[in-house]
Copies of this chain bind each other. A is one copy, B any other.
Amino acid sequence: MTVAEKIRTIAADARQASFAVAKLSSNVKNELLMDMAMALINNAPHIIEENRKDLAAGEKRGLSGAMLDRLMLDEARIKGMADAIREVAALPDPVGEVTGMWKRPNDLMVGKMRIPLGVIGIIYESRPNVTSDAAALCLKSGNAVVLRGGSEAIYSNVAIARFLKEELAKRDLPDAAISLIPFVEREGVTEMLKQEAFIDVIIPRGGESLIRFVVEHSKIPVIKHYKGVCHIFVDASADFEMARDIIINAKTQRPGVCNALETLLIHRDIAETFVPFIYTALTALDVELRGDEAFRQFAPEAKVATEEDWHAEYLELILSAGVVDDLDGAIDHINRYSSLHTESIITKDYANSQRFIREVNSGVVMVNASTRFSDGNQLGLGAEIGISTTKLHSFGPMGLTDLTTTKFIVYGDGQVRP
């Protein structure tokens, strides 16, 4: 079989398996997940052995220490993967939920019921835990999944998927419900992206270049986020200490992630006092500031921000900073440069907090809180399957519910249309 034929077969089998998974009761799904968690722990030695092959190949290929660390599995990490599966088992099952029901004038009862999407395609890089995390979330939401991990983790991913599949087979369920593409040719990805007859949605997890590649080549809808250029606006009425603590947390607590702060906007009325205050606090923590002219008036040692800086997702200890005339100026700046990820206002002013919430249309909009809370777990969705910065289907951090859709259900007693 060619790569194209193999991929088509995998996708078609996953579609067929999806019908069986969609019908499973919550109890059966939860028992399956608990057994899968146990299977990973029981088979940790074998998974670690396979992982060693990936590590050896990675060293040979000259992967960085950080990359190798991300790839590495040991008993503790496998226990972490098992715990994550158990957490998914503990989440409420979205499938079958009736989100509303109403009566029509002709006595038809019309409602909407949550159902699985069908088959989810996940394309991801390096970390092997994504294999079990994504499989668990897809199973719990009644979907089949086609997983395509990075070539650098192929032995680990195949081993993990094998033990998950075995639990399906033990219960006479089609193990194609958890499918992993077991070879590394790049062609596998492009062929996978053509299976619109069998795969309902693609969720890429990885860097911007992976995501752009997937969007460019996919015939299947893609739920994506390219980057997070998160803003904090310090309003004229802000409590300085609260603003400082939130800004420091948002910028420095974990600078390498998409919900870290990248641009700071400051109300002109407080610039004279707040700019030196925050400049001192941030530089003490080794944050490099790049300011506009007005910012540098009160912090002359700051570097100069160029147009590029307002678009930048630094992912390191650099922060662009500008002074705006008022709330409208802040909203205009955000509308212009936002990646639609997360923005926060620091204010004591009721009306401004309400306007910011209403008028800033990013996936997550906050008042007096750190952008670092923009995460499915932190917002209370349970485990996160991804994050969307486009508005169709899902917007913002995505949990189990985002792997479902709703159908209309109609209960009649013989109604016909006049």
Contacts and interface: CB of A to CB of B under 8 A. Distances in A.
Interface string A356-389: 0111011111111110111000111000000000
A104 interface: yes
Contacts of A378: 104, 417
Contacts of A14: none
A373 B200 contact: no
Contact of A102 (B357, B380, B405): B380
Nearest to A105: B380
A49 interface: no
A118 interface: yes
A364 B407 contact: yes
Contacts of A415: 246, 368-370, 373
A410 interface: yes
Interface string A315-336: 0000000000000000000010
A380 B412 contact: no
A28 interface: no
A393 interface: yes
Interface residues of A, number: 67
A412 to B, nearest CB: 3
A96 interface: yes
Interface of A: 19, 22-23, 96, 102, 104, 108, 110, 113, 115-118, 200-201, 221, 239, 242, 245-246, 248-250, 253, 335, 344, 353, 357-359, 361-370, 372-374, 378-380, 390-397, 405-417
8 contacts: A104-B378, A110-B379, A117-B391, A118-B391, A249-B416, A373-B410, A373-B417, A396-B407
Contacts of A110: 379-380
Contacts of A365: 407-410
Contacts of A357: 113, 409, 411
Given A407-B395, A408-B379, A417 B368 contact: no
Given A364-B407, A372-B416, 11 more contacts: A22-B361, A23-B358, A113-B357, A115-B361, A118-B391, A362-B407, A367-B411, A368-B411, A370-B412, A372-B417, A392-B393
Nearest to A115: B361
A246 B416 contact: yes
B410 A366 contact: yes
Q: Which of A250, A378, A394 has the most CB of B within 10 A?
A: A378
Contacts of A397: 408
Contact of A414 (B23, B115, B246): B246
Contacts of A364: 407-410
